[in-house]
Chain A
């Protein structure tokens, strides 16, 4: 079938126009779809966050009914996690994993198409749930009962269905990615020669396969509690709302690493390029990733320290949580050691990566603070937690995605992006992010509760600063959109390898990467 004649494939017809995308089985096209989809969802969920920040600009209620405020926080969380960050990483996996391991495509191209197009109805369900009677789901992205059981609005069912669909999409996508990585590597590409991004995705995909079905189980129980008279979470019928929290976080904590491990892979790719040194401690990076993934299944109850559990249980989850900082610390050390005495240059992808190392570490430290049992009882459900998870999810996951977009844009489009504008985007994003979220450490420690539209007067200044930062952060992402569109339209031609320190098979194909690559597998020395 598809051997020798690599050139012939470039001209044979594939659908054009809209059908090129709808019916695509090409990993690059589907990767592009995932990335655009996630960017659109990023802007949408970001706009919801601006609604939150507008309300919190001043104490008192200005723009939003409390119920609507709750809807915004809930949808912001759900859409950012399931609609923006996860699909963005799948987009990178689609585009880059076959190129990095010398495969011609993913193992199951048609399933790949299905994985993407399942996202669309799910996203529509989440977004249109705003307009149904009773309004969008409002009990927080974690959907704790009894609120999620008692809320009669159809939007809760729409959200459950959306998450079911997204779960199927993720599981199918993960099976596809694991099969590709394990079975389709080019000759000579041994496991321990794989780029770290491939390794992190392999482990992430296993996490997805193990944890998404547990969420599906929990959601199904929630659905039957709502409609079919079961009482898994209903205390009146002998159930227990805390059971939901256990099952949810058994999924939820691996989910946290699903959103950060690929980010580790991305910056482990970018930093060596611009430090012009191979990654320090490659093997320890692989083992650290695996260790984080395994530990992620035994720490879930640290989200529930205040629900009441035996002290022995609290101590176990406190220590297991702290243990995660060891493999994570190994990674941070390795990134810093990679930069140490390197010939560093500071193009936009490198700026983002360095910021990720620095800011993610702040998020890691605040996580360690939250892990301390007596402290957590104080900061539980305050803005301290909000600051913590935005430092790991925005400046960890989202900013590494931005850096990686700049890194591979030349490969994707064949043109160099505008470096000056890229640096502007970086600096505005980084500064605005810190202006937004750093003050939340202070308001949180002082006791400002999250998910409440109003607050005590003493928090007014910090909240005003946060809101200014949030609007700057939001608007600066339109600059990102402009830079990407400008780069697609044209600019300086990019070489096959635009970064002189870059390593890897993806730089051996021309820029832009042709529609079909590695029809004949390359041989890795």
Chain B
């Protein structure tokens, strides 16, 4: 029966098309990972912008009309037996002014350990305007047992920072490198 054959062919054709939609859905699911990172950096979502990018020291005019408080916090993630804290918990800067401050890390363990710090900025929008010229987070850090290390960060807050933001928090999470759970 040609009619029935025709119907079966139609069904098969539709099913294949729907399968293509499903496969496209799968591809889209994976594509969301890079898309998300691009989006985060573009609009400062999750305070992720410029995580490791080195900003060039700019010759922008220093905006002396207002001051911004920058709070520094830090924590270590499970598996990393380090003490880690900011030497200056808060710093006041003029937008555009280049400032140097530092964190202190102590390896409390009995082995040399490599750690990596991941910064996060809050409020998230501020991440677009917080520029790091020099930062220990650009490289992995190795600490010998018992070693105490001062780790500098040189930064400035762009004068374009929206006027309603008066406090910016920079938070570092220190992870042990190669500490992936199996």
Taking A182-B14, A310-B44 as contacts, is the C-beta distance between A175 and B22 under 8 angstroms? yes
Residues of A within 8 A of B32 (CB): 214, 217, 243, 246-247, 250
Taking the closest CB of chain A, its distance from the CB of B51, in whole angstroms, is 8
- Residue numbers of A with Cβ under 8 A of B are 1, 3, 107-108, 149-150, 152, 171, 174-176, 178-179, 182-184, 209-218, 220-221, 226-227, 229, 231-232, 234-238, 240, 242-243, 246-247, 250-251, 307-310, 313
Cβ of A150: which chain B residues have Cβ within 8 Å of it? 181
Query: Is B22's CB under 8 angstroms from A212's CB?
Result: yes
Which residue from chain A places its CB closest to the CB of B24 in the assembled complex? Answer: A213
B30 lies within 8 A of A229 (CB): no
How far does the Cβ of B90 sit from chain A's closest Cβ, in whole Å? 21
B44-85 vs A: 1/0 string, CB under 8 Å?
A: 111110000000000000000000000000000100000000
Given contacts A183-B14, A243-B37, A246-B32, 16 further A-B contacts (CB under 8 A): A179-B14, A179-B18, A209-B25, A213-B26, A216-B26, A216-B29, A217-B27, A217-B30, A221-B33, A231-B180, A235-B173, A236-B180, A247-B29, A250-B32, A308-B47, A313-B45
Give the interface residue-count category, chain B.
35 or more
The contact of B124 among A184, A232, A308, by CB within 8 Å, is: A308
Asked if A221 contacts B30 (CB within 8 A), the reply is yes
The closest CB in chain B to the CB of A221 belongs to: B33
Set B21, B77, B122, B175: member contacting A308, Cβ < 8 A:
B122
- Report whether A178 and B18 are in contact in the complex, using a CB–CB cutoff of 8 Å: yes
B interface, by DSSP: helix, strand, loop or mixed? helix
Interface pair B18/A213, CB less than 8 Å apart: no
Across the A-B interface, the 7 shortest Cβ-Cβ residue pairs: A217-B29, A213-B25, A236-B175, A213-B26, A214-B29, A175-B18, A107-B11
**Would you give 29 A-B contacts (Cβ < 8 Å), ordered by A?**
A3-B1, A107-B11, A108-B11, A174-B18, A175-B22, A178-B18, A179-B11, A179-B18, A183-B11, A183-B14, A184-B7, A209-B18, A213-B24, A214-B28, A214-B29, A215-B29, A217-B32, A235-B175, A236-B77, A236-B116, A237-B180, A240-B36, A243-B37, A246-B32, A247-B32, A250-B32, A307-B46, A310-B44, A313-B45
Where the two chains meet, the residues of B that have a C-beta atom closer than 8 Å to any C-beta of A are: 1, 4, 7, 10-11, 14-15, 18-19, 21-30, 32-33, 36-37, 40, 43-48, 77, 116, 118, 122, 124-125, 173, 175-177, 179-182
Contact of A175 among B15, B36, B47, B176 (CB under 8 A): B15
Interface centre among A176, A209, A309 (most CB of B within 10 A): A209
- How far is it, in angstroms, between the C-alpha of A275 and the C-alpha of B22 when the chains are bound? 40
B116 neighbours in A (Cβ, 8 Å): 236
- Which secondary structure dominates chain A's binding surface? helix
Chain B residue nearest to A215 in the complex (CB): B29
Q: How far is the CA of A213 from the CA of B25 in the complex (A)?
A: 5
User: Chain A residues near B33 (CB, 8 Å)?
Assistant: 221, 232, 243, 247
Kindly provide the distance from the CB of B123 to the nearest chain A CB, expressed in whole angstroms: 8
Q: A213-B23, A227-B182 are in contact. Are A240 and B29 (CB under 8 A)?
A: no
By a CB distance below 8 angstroms, the chain A residues around B181 are 149-150, 152, 226
**A108 to B179, alpha carbons, bound, how many Å?**
49
Across-interface contacts of A229 in B (CB, < 8 A)? 180
Q: Return the contact of B46 from the options A107, A182, A234, A308 (Cβ within 8 A).
A: A308
Q: How far is the CA of A374 from the CA of B60 in the complex (A)?
A: 38
Residue in B4, B37, B125 whose beta carbon sits within 8 Å of that of A1 in the complex: B4
Q: Give, as a whole number of angstroms, the nearest-CB distance from A15 to chain B.
A: 24
